[in-house]
Amino acid sequence: MEEAVKWFRLQLKTSAAAEARAYLEKRRMSPAAQERWEIGFAPDQRQGLFHALTQKGIAADLIVAAGLCAKPDDGGAPYDRFRGRIIFPIRDARGRAISLGGRSMDPNARAKYLNGPETELFDKGRNLFNHGPAREAAGKGMPLIVAEGYMDVIALSEAGFRATVAPLGTAVTEDQLRLMWRISDEPVIALDGDTAGFRAALRVIDLALPLLEAGKGLRFAILPQGLDPDDLIKAQGAGRCRRCWRPRSPWSTCCGGAKPRAASSTAPNARPRWTRCCVPR
């Protein structure tokens, strides 16, 4: 897997990745940030990665087993699973590369984001993007923020909120929630302020209620409608956002009938509205 990460990083420097580099620049991801997050690019080639790895002596069966390539139904040679995508390495809590995520450069792609398949190394429902660094930062007192995707995690982390994680292409699972509570007693769930965001908040609440223990809880940040964390940071600045991560009051509930509410404005000064859902200490 590490060899694949290295190869994808090299491809980001090629002429084939010009559109990908332009996208990253548009998202204000500096070259230094790209290095920190090991961002890569998968060229739109059927067997680019496969040939690169087999030429290094890596067996085809191992490449397929790692989820990097897939075998066609007709029994032909394996083909690259990631093509025409920006690549995000996925690492476990100990920093080992266990899978990849990819964002398509094709606006008509059936899947804008694609994760590697379930393998012996990778169970997407039991891992978190940026788990290790977020755990370390939370251990130093930073609030644990749960964002929706790779780019949100990167934007927040680069703005100073280094204890940020995201689920991996799925709704939050019980295992992921337990992982979050091992990192922090009260994770902050940051969600979009649209209908999908409300529904996601309610799903997390339904999931959390049977699992809650004394001293454990959740906080919710329903972002202003139409703004993702990256937009919010650009509009309000990291300092303003930092104040938003703090609880507004020692106790309020989203479990007793009240539901998370979104800010009704998309203006730059619109603020997230917070609700806590926890068992009193």
Query: At the top level of CATH, which class does the domain 131-278 belong to?
Result: alpha beta
Which residues have CB under 8 Å from 160's CB, separation 6+?
Answer: 238, 242
Residue 146 burial (C-beta neighbours within 10 Å; 0-12, 13-18, 19+): buried
Closest CA to 131 of 102, 87, 104, 97: 97
pLDDT for the residue numbered 245 = 62
pLDDT for the residue numbered 195 = 75
Q: Rounded to the nearest 5°, which phi and psi values hold at 220?
A: -120, 135
Q: Domain segments of the chain: what residues?
A: 2-122, 131-278
Residue 200 near residue 170, CB atoms below 8 Å:
no
pLDDT for the residue numbered 82 = 98
Low-confidence ranges of the chain (pLDDT < 50): 248-275, 277-281
We find that the CATH architecture of domain 2-122 is: Alpha-Beta Complex (3.90)
In whole angstroms, what is the distance from residue 178 CA to residue 38 CA? 27
pLDDT for the residue numbered 193 = 67
pTM of the model: 0.86
What's the pLDDT tens digit per position in 3-56?
999 999 999 999 999 999 999 999 889 999 999 999 999 999 999 999 999 999
pLDDT for the residue numbered 247 = 54
